[in-house]
A and B are shown apart, each in its own frame.
Chain A
Amino acid sequence: MADAYLGSFVHWIPLASGMVILLPGLSLVDSIEELANGHLASGGARMAGVGVAFLALIFGVLLA
């Protein structure tokens, strides 16, 4: 399914550029910063949220 664009790099570029808005990258950095500062509960919860957001996004990508 995904190799329609995985084999070629060009399909990846518009996909990634549109997806950049939705990706939880800032939350990932936030969660690691919270964990590093010792706020374990909020950091762990935020990291779990990041993981779920990634899984949800990749499901949509695979579907298309």
Chain B
Amino acid sequence: MSVAELLVSVGKPDEAIAFPRWMMLPALVLVSLGSIFRFQARLADGPWILLASAVALAGTKLGARLGNPLMGPFVGALLLGLAANLFARLRVPTPQLLLVPGLALLVPGSFGLRSLNSMLSGESTAGIDQGFQMFMMAIALVAGLLFSNALVKTEANS
């Protein structure tokens, strides 16, 4: 019995309805607007944040097609790191401007929450599985970033 069940009756909901695929584009704009507020960026940096979000999302979708589920975060982080380092060489003052909002889309935080949720509700094996998956995704992200730093040198990482 939870606090929520005391307040309202919790019924079994119907099946979740997925958004159509074209909703990705408005969602991308919305998430970059949200990133401006979340990271307290200047409004003038909005296009860069939009670009970073688009690169991260496209890289993840591209990598997910390669078969291995860990290729999604890896390719996303690799493309994002390449874009950030290249643009840091060209005009953007620091690669972090693209890295942080892009990486915020890729991080496997929800897996950790799901893992602890499973563990605390008695499904220890599923919880351990999801926790391990979270760590592997984080390591795939870091591997993508390290590869991109090795491929494109900037003043920051040389």
Contacts and interface: CB of A to CB of B under 8 A. Distances in A.
Interface residues of A, number: 34
B12 A8 contact: yes
B41 to A, nearest CB: 15
A52 to B, nearest CB: 12
Given A8-B13, A64-B3, A29 B110 contact: no
Interface residues of B, number: 35
Contact of A26 (B5, B103, B120): B103
B145 to A, nearest CB: 6
A4 B5 contact: yes
Secondary structure at the B interface, as helix, strand, loop or mixed, is helix
B121 interface: yes
Contact of A58 (B16, B103, B120): B120
A24 interface: yes
Contacts of B139: 32
Interface string A10-23: 11110010011101
B141 interface: yes
B120 A4 contact: no
B46 interface: no
Interface in A11-64: 11-13, 16, 19-21, 23-26, 28-29, 32-33, 36, 54-55, 57-58, 61-64
Interface stretch (B60-68, B86-94, B111-119): B111-119
Interface of B: 1-5, 10, 12-16, 38, 100, 103-104, 107-110, 112-114, 116-118, 120-121, 134-135, 138-139, 141-142, 145-146
